[in-house]
A and B are shown apart, each in its own frame.
Chain A
Amino acid sequence: MEYFAPKSIAEALSLLERYGGEAKVIAGGTDVMVDIKYKEEPGCLINIKAIGGLAGIKENNGGVRIGPLTTIRDLETSALIRDKLPVLWEAAHQFASLQIRNTATIGGNICRASPSGETLTPLLVLEASGNIAFSDKETAEPFINFFSGPGKTTLGAKGLLTAIDVPYPAAESRGVYLKHAVRGAMDIAMVGVAVLITPDAAKKAVRDVRIGLGAVAPTPIRAAKAEASLRGKPLTPALLKQAAELAASEASPIDDQRSSAEYRRWIVEALTRRGLAQSWKAATGKEAV
């Protein structure tokens, strides 16, 4: 296995251009090391940790710019993230174990593109985007278009995620990230649901709502039909129940060792209902009636 530790983005991109599909990018290593030990060694390992300027959390144009090498623990201990992006903070807080959070990076969690990736549904409901660099171009890609399958993204074999831009949600919005797993720590989510809801000025009707579902489709998804069923309407218990059922119908889960597809649908429904009710109460001070 060849090994490179580029010092700049340009150097990393030219290595990716040269080695393409043979190359594997490594950051924290908490997933890639397991592949190396239990699956197979890539032809070439590109360690991007020596590239300067790729870690850190900064306010930027009405949002936060997060460097891809920022560790999950750095997100969890950031007052800015906790205060302004609590849905993302919640996912960071529930992420694996302290040892893993100290090493794993948000960029790695995103580029790994696991349907259950803890930070992904929060990033979808926050409508975050990635700055994607190739050797000949650079684009801003909303994460809703970024994931194409388990482990697959629009980065392909030659792209590099160089920044994560998360716009601040509306000040009146509230949200939650709910994870269903057997063990609190370390367990991969059977289902993860992120909800962000914004009431109208009278706190009567839903002005905007976003629902992200994790681990129940080939990629993390937004439950678009469930969202549409709620927009502009007062949040009644009947509407809430219907939206949760719609979200479950939008999921396409698989049977695996963690749970059956049927069970996952039930959990999507329960967590969506719970997430909407909790977020609505946090945003309006009232139960859905």
Chain B
Amino acid sequence: MSFTINATINDKKVSASTEASTSLLEFLRDTLEMKGTKLCCNTGECGACTIIFNGKPINSCVTLAADADGATITTIEGLADGANLHAVQQAFIDTGAVQCGYCTPGYIMSVAALLDRTAKPTAEDIEEAVSGNICRCTGYAKIVDAIHLAADRLSGRA
């Protein structure tokens, strides 16, 4: 059973057809060909598919595509302003918080949502914000450094 989804994705109006059993992640990757959001565990446990949905970070793999009808969504493709990377993207590069890179889009979306909520996140805020994201390469220390750097840059402290 297919139907049409009308959503605002990365500030653009999008209209496309989907099936009832399609996840929002599949809709983004396979229907809209937006491959930045990653498929990994497909059970809502690893955070690689994190997007910002109506202002909140969610796992797109365990969300129905149907629920995107009328929603406002930001994906990793929507963060940079032309050639200028978002502060979180730049901070991940500058601190070496990326190794294999597969978890990175999910992390960056979780952190972008965190810094939208809180300009000066505490260590506890940071831990909460990314506790649903798994990275198997970095050991997390560089990621936490990147989050602090992004927060400082966004609030003019660095």
Q: What is the interface of chain A, defined by CB distance below 8 A to chain B? A: 1-3, 5, 26, 29-31, 33-34, 36-38, 41, 45, 47, 49, 73, 96-100, 102-103, 184-186
Contact = CB atoms under 8 A, between A and B. Distances in A.
B57 A102 contact: yes
A211 B62 CA distance: 33
Contact of A1 (B1, B53, B61): B1
16 contacts: A3-B20, A5-B66, A26-B64, A29-B63, A29-B64, A30-B62, A33-B44, A33-B64, A37-B42, A96-B132, A97-B47, A99-B50, A102-B53, A102-B56, A103-B59, A186-B132
Given A29-B64, A98-B110, A186-B45, A1 B58 contact: no
B117 to A, nearest CB: 10
Interface residues of B, number: 28
B20 A45 contact: yes
B23 interface: yes
Contacts of A29: 62-64, 67
Contact of A98 (B21, B23, B132): B132
B132 A103 contact: no
Given A3-B20, A186-B132, A47 B64 contact: yes
B62 A98 contact: no
Which secondary structure characterizes the binding site on chain B? mixed
A37 B56 contact: no
Given A31-B62, A33-B44, A38-B43, 9 more contacts: A29-B64, A29-B67, A98-B57, A98-B128, A98-B131, A98-B132, A99-B50, A100-B62, A103-B58
Contacts of A3: 1, 3, 20, 66
Nearest to A41: B21
Q: Which 9 A-B pairs have the closest CB atoms?
A: A97-B132, A3-B20, A185-B131, A33-B62, A102-B56, A99-B59, A99-B132, A30-B62, A34-B43
Given A1-B1, A34-B43, A185-B132, A45 B21 contact: yes
Contacts of A97: 47, 131-133
Contact of B44 (A5, A99, A184): A99
Contact of A34 (B53, B57, B62): B62
Contacts of A1: 1, 20-21
Given A33-B23, A184-B131, A73 B56 contact: yes
Contact of B57 (A31, A47, A99): A99
Contacts of B53: 102
A35 B32 CA distance: 24
Nearest to B2: A3
A103 B66 CA distance: 14
A182 B126 CA distance: 20
Among B3, B20, B67, the one with the most A-chain Cβ atoms within 10 Å of its Cβ is B20
B108 to A, nearest CB: 14
A100 B66 contact: no
B1 A103 contact: no
Nearest to A49: B67
A97 B48 CA distance: 13
